[in-house]
Amino acid sequence: MNLRKVNQQDLFNYTLNDLPPGYKINPSSLTIWYKSGYLSFDPNKKNEFNEAEFQEFRFITTLFISGISLISIDKLLGNLKKPYAYDISKIYFNWIKREWEYLPDKPEVNLFEAVDQLINTKEIGILTDLQEKISAYLLTIPKAK
């Protein structure tokens, strides 16, 4: 699978404060990651990051704070191209195939089509439960005067 790196530029740059609270890392670790080739830049020498840098930083940080060994991290990164500017919220490592893959897109649900499908397949139990739930909710709404 060929993963796309983040290349879109946001209107505003990021700072380390934009990371979730659990991502606070010792500054010396950041320099080590840079000098070891995990990061294409030294985060300690920048005040702001563009989108690609921020995603690269987030991706690498997520791997290192996961608690897995350095050997495992190297294996996980083995088939990815540097810099590692991948959006960690959109990919996962498939352990069976031993490769990174995109998370499936969540399909948009058309409620009316879903109900029509339930009617067509005669899912009376589910339809009855839905009717009861909707009716109970409608009883809680004040009537217009």
| ∠ CA 57-62-65, rounded to 5° | 115
Could you tell me the pLDDT band of residue 31, with boundaries at 50, 70 and 90?
very high
Count of C-beta atoms within a 10 Å radius of residue 38: 23
Inform me whether the pLDDT recorded for 12 exceeds 80. no
Say whether 11 sits in a helix, a strand or coil: coil
Q: Is 122:116 a contact under the CB 8 Å cutoff?
A: no
Could you tell me the pLDDT band of residue 8, with boundaries at 50, 70 and 90?
low
Which residues are CB-neighbours of 92 under 8 A, at least 6 positions away?
100, 101, 103
Q: Residues 76-114: pLDDT tens digits?
A: 999 899 999 999 889 999 999 999 999 988 777 888 888
User: Considering the chain, what percentage of its residues have pLDDT values greater than 70?
Assistant: 92
